[in-house]
Amino acid sequence: MRNTGPARVEDELASLSIGKAARLLRRREISPLDLVEAALARIEKLNPALDAFLTVTAERARRDARLAERAFKRGRRGSTPGPLHGIPVALKDNIWTRGVRTTAGSRILGHFVPSRDSEVARRLARARAILVGKTNLHEFAYGISNENPHYGPVRNPWARDRISGGSSGGSAAAVATGMCFASVGTDTGGSIRIPSALCGIAGLKPTYGLVSVERIVPLSLSLDHAGPMARSVEDLCMVLEAIAGEYPKGAARPDVRRLARNRPRRLRLGWPKQYFFERVDPEVHKLVEAAAKRFQDLGGRLEEVSLPHLHDCIDPITNIALAEAARYHESQGYFPSRANEYGEDVSSRLALGREVRAVDYLAAFDVLRIVTQDFDGAFERVDAILAPTLPVTAPLIGEKEIQIGGESETVRSALVRLNRPANGTGHPAISIPCGFTRAGLPVGLQIIAPRWCESRLLAIALAYEEATEWRRKRPLLN
């Protein structure tokens, strides 16, 4: 690193990609403790304004950094540390961490300290990533604004009067501002992709079942996913390599070296005929169209695809989430006996969940099978589908309704509308930055691929990312 002042060095270190940081660590030009101290300094400086972290594990992180530093010094000839070895990361605070408080953003679990790690935390520890803390989230991951009544709202680093998005909003704000290099979030109706889009980072919801949700406080087990959030597609790939389970026989496991070699050529990209471009802010629509044009410049071919049953799936997905969330909270003895300890929005949804009829819950899965067939039919003709991640940019904190194209819509409805289909079908979906509005707010491009095709999805996203400059933009912070 250049010999500059402490603040400048901190900024440079915190802005590194995981790949660049890993190379500098292997060459011993920097140490894991350098990276940890840079991350902790950013947390100390920025977290009071953004409220991204609920728990900071500074002592543990410094201890692990010193252990990693010794490992690099005594490394045997021919042995190569993994890409996450010595890299500061965070975890959403519904993911169990042994010996570290895991609140799920709730008052009810405010003092819960797990005795065991989640599978995700275990895999990251095995990769020698360094945990710097647990991030704020919408209470019990059941919301999209990250306006938490118990721990405060996570503020958007691009405009602090606006929401970060939820429920993984603390992770998105922390990654965007260099308080960590990556995080793992959860996504039941867009909770990785929504905050990633609103905060200008990359976020991946993998194929359903690829990343274990074992010992993650559940929202809806039929819809819950866990996945990586980072500042670049390459960094997403490195985290996914560490946390992913087994792929089916014949599926290509994502690998940074393979992605670098195998740039996609003659891409066939689907442009949805229905649903995804209805009630979308004109600036968002224009930036997503520009992203599609950039793919065409790279040799891709756009083809209109039909997904005729998408309009039918939103209420069924809602019924599944309502019923399964209510059942979990009842089974733990939290609701309704402790209803006064919940925020009003989560409490009201749990009450609604108790009213979902069994016949409607079961019928919802029939609808999802039809919608899944629509997507699978489209993927016989195209490699992936392009869409906006969200129809709007970040709403104001406290805003309940917004206007889109002259029509009023609740913030919740607007932010989940374009994300929920991929949760219902289980297809992998990524959000990557595709531009900024005149007001300077980030816009996300969503790319959806066939199940178990994360390698293809990440390669497509990487090709676009490297052909643009959006990943290099950072929020201006004081």
> Which positions are annotated as active-site residues?
92, 167, 191
The rounded distance, in Å, linking the Cα atoms of 170 and 55 is: 11
Of 368, 331, 364, 365, whose CA–CA distance to 350 is shortest?
331
Q: d(Cα 269, Cα 257) in Å, to the nearest integer? A: 24
**Which secondary structure element, helix H or strand E, spans residue 394, and what is its range?**
none
Q: Cα angle at 378 between 373 and 383, to 5 degrees?
A: 125
Helix ranges (DSSP H) in 276-432? 282-297, 314-331, 344-353, 358-379, 411-416, 420-425
Residue 312 burial (CB count, 10 A): 13
Query: In this structure, what token pair is assigned to residue 474?
Result: 């950072």
DSSP run (H or E) holding 199: helix 193-199
Residues in CB range of 173: below 8 A, 6 or more apart: 50, 52, 135, 154, 155, 156, 157, 164, 179, 195, 199
User: Which residues of 30-181 form beta strands (DSSP E)?
Assistant: 53-56, 88-92, 130-135, 147-148, 152-153, 155-156, 159-163
What is the spatial distance between Cα 284 and Cα 390, in angstroms, rounded to a whole number? 8
Continuous segment of H or E residues that includes residue 183: strand 182-187
Strands (E), 118-157: 130-135, 147-148, 152-153, 155-156
C-alpha 39 chain-centroid distance:
19
Give which of 289, 130, 228 is closest to 428, Cα–Cα. 228
Task: Supply 315's token pair.
Answer: 């209420």
- In order of 196, 229, 424, 432, 447, the CA distances from 456 in angstroms are 20, 18, 21, 15, 11
The letter for the amino acid at 296 is Q
State both tokens at 256.
Answer: 């940074």
Which class for 165: exposed (0-12), middle (13-18), buried (19 or more C-beta within 10 A)? buried
